[in-house]
Amino acid sequence: MTGLNVLVAVTAFLVILGIAELAVHRRRLAKIRYRIHVNGTRGKSSVTRLIAAGLREGGITTCAKTTGSTARMIMPDGRELPIYRPGGPNIIEQKRIVAVAAAYEAEALVIECMALQPLLQSLSELKLIRATHGIITNARPDHLEIMGPGERDVARAMAGMTPVGGKLYTAEVNQLEVLKIATKDRNCELCVVEPLTDDEALSRFPYTEHGDNVALALRVCADLGVEREVALAGMVAAQPDPGAMTERQVDFFGRKITFVNGFAANDPVSTKHIWTMASERYGDLHRRVAVFNCRADRPDRSVLLGKAFASWAPADHVVLMGSGTDLFARAATSAGLDPAKLVFAEELPVEQVFERIVALVDDSALVMGMGNIGEGGLRLASYFRNRAVPERN
C-alpha cells in the first residue's frame, strides 16, 4: 500500500469516526427534553444555579454545569462535583457533560456557555448544545480584546448562541436590537424579562442576589411548568456560586470591618452598581476601602475599571492586588484619582493583603473586593469569611 493510500484510508477512518461520534452525541442530546444554554457578561453562573435549583424543586430531574468562579457539575440530587481539566478549559468538555446528563436520564440540562471567541460561541450552540431554551443575561463591555471593540460587538458575539427554533430569554436593555435580529434569523422567540423588584422575595436569599438573575430563572422555570413559589423555594435553599456577592462582618481587635465580595463583577457597569449599592448601604462606616484584584492577562479590564472608578463614589483607599496593577493605577490616576489613595499589594499572599487592608482601618470600614475572582480574589474572600463574626440565626 502506497503512502497516499494509507493517508486516504486514515482520513476516511477519521471521518467515519467523527460522523459516528456526532451521531452518538446527537442521540444523547435527544434524550434530554430541556436543554438550557446560559450566556451573558454577568450572572451566567448564578442564573445557571438558580434555574437548576428551581427545576429540581419542581420535580424535574436536572443536571447543571457552571464554568464561573470554579467549574462544577451539579447532579440531580444537588451534589456538586469539580470538573477536572488536565489540559485546561476546552469547549469539547461540554460533550462529556451531555453524556453524564443523558446517563442520569436528566429531563433538563442547564449548562453555562464557556466560549468567548464569537465563532466558538456559535459553534457551541449549533453543534454541542442545540438548546431548546437560551439565555443571555446581559451584554456589557468585558473581554473586549476578544469580543470587542465595543459593547454592541459583545452583544453580536453572544447572539451567536441563539437557539434555532427555540426561546431566548434576556434581561438586556441596551442591545435588544441585536438580539431581535438574531432571533428573527433563527426563528427563535425572544422573551425580554424585567428585573424582579419584590424585596420580600430577594430578602429570602442568604446572600445578595440580583433581581434580574432571579427574574430570568423564575421565567424559565414557569415556562417549564414549575410554580413561582416552588421554584423560588428551591433557589433560596440552593448552594450559591462561590463568586456570589456575599457580606461578612469582621471584628479584628476592635476594628469593625464589613467585607463585601464583589470580585466576580468585573465590567464597569456591574462593578459600579454594586460599589454604589454597598457604599449607600454602609454609609455610616468611617472609611471605604476598594480592593481591586488585577490580572496581567486581562489588561483591557484593568484599564476600563481604572478609568471608570475615578468617577464613582469616592473611596478613602484603593488597594491593588494581583498582577499588572500598574495598568489600573495609570488609568485611574489619568482619569483623576488621587495617587495618594493607592495602596499596592501586587503579588502578595492573601495574608499580607489582609494585613495591609486592616492597617487602613481606624475603627470601622467598608472593604469591597472587585475586579477578578480568580488569581487571589476567591482566596481573599475566603480569608475574610474564615475570620468573620458567626452569624446569628
Asked whether residue 175 falls in the same domain as residue 199, the answer is yes
The domain boundary, picked from 237, 262, 295, lies at 237
In a domain, 295, yes or no: yes
Give the model's pLDDT for residue 4.
73
Give the model's pLDDT for residue 314.
95
In a domain, 296, yes or no: yes
Query: Grid coordinates in use for 315?
Result: 473611596
Asked whether residue 221 falls in the same domain as residue 257, the answer is no
CA separation for the pair 122, 249 (Å, rounded): 43
Give the model's pLDDT for residue 393.
46
Give the model's pLDDT for residue 22.
72
CATH number, domain containing residue 356: 3.90.190.20
What is the number of domains present in the chain? 2
What order of strands is seen across the sheet that includes strand 80-82? Answer: 80-82, 72-74, 62-66, 108-112, 34-39, 133-136, 167-170, 189-192
CA separation for the pair 156, 178 (Å, rounded): 6
- Tell me which DSSP letter residue 103 carries: H
Asked whether residue 229 falls in the same domain as residue 258, the answer is no
Asked whether residue 273 falls in the same domain as residue 197, the answer is no
Asked whether residue 170 falls in the same domain as residue 121, the answer is yes
In a domain, 15, yes or no: no
332 three-state secondary structure: helix
The domain boundary, picked from 237, 263, 291, lies at 237
Mean pLDDT by 10 residues, the chain (393 residues): 70 72 88 98 94 98 87 94 83 93 98 95 96 97 89 96 98 96 98 89 90 97 98 95 88 94 89 94 95 94 95 97 96 97 95 96 96 89 90 54
Asked whether residue 162 falls in the same domain as residue 219, the answer is yes
CA separation for the pair 67, 305 (Å, rounded): 23
State how beta strands 255-261 and 246-252 pair.
Answer: antiparallel
Q: Which domain holds residue 84?
A: 27-237
The domain boundary, picked from 201, 219, 237, lies at 237
In a domain, 68, yes or no: yes
Asked whether residue 218 falls in the same domain as residue 80, the answer is yes
Positive or negative, the CA dihedral 140, 143, 145, 146 is negative
Task: Record the pTM.
Answer: 0.88
CA separation for the pair 20, 31 (Å, rounded): 17
